[in-house]
Amino acid sequence: MINGGYNRREKLIFQFTPQYLVTLPDTLDTILCQIQRKEGLPLNTLINLWVQEKVQQYAKTM
């Protein structure tokens, strides 16, 4: 998918972004939506930030 948009809070870094399908139980889906509303960021941005943080933490242990 070509990511051609951005909002004022984030910079457009990647022109092409891979898409992943993640299924969540209803309870986690609801919590994720609540976090997204609270943070005011697009859901894909939040998920990318979380994944980036986890990968960086993992890399430190190697």
Look at the block and give the residue holding tokens 């004022």: 8
What predicted TM-score, i.e. pTM, was given to this entire model? 0.53
Indicate the SS3 state at residue 43: helix
The residue to which tokens 């960086």 are assigned: 56
pLDDT of residue 2: 39
Q: Which two tokens stand for residue 24?
A: 């969540």
Radius of gyration of the CA atoms of the chain, in A: 13
| Inside any domain, residue 13 | no
Number of domains in the chain: 1
The domain containing residue 47 runs over which residues?
Answer: 26-61
pLDDT score, position 47: 83
> What would the pLDDT profile of 1-39 be if each residue is shown by its tens digit?
334 454 555 554 444 456 666 677 778 878 888 888 899
pLDDT of residue 17: 56
Q: What is the pLDDT of residues 29-58, one digit of tens each?
A: 788 888 888 999 888 888 888 888 998 999
Q: Has residue 55 been placed in a domain? A: yes
Is 4 within a domain? no
Q: Measuring CA to CA, which residue among 19, 55, 50, 20 is closest to residue 32?
A: 50
Residue 42 domain flag: yes
User: How many angstroms separate the CA atoms of 59 and 62, rounded?
Assistant: 5
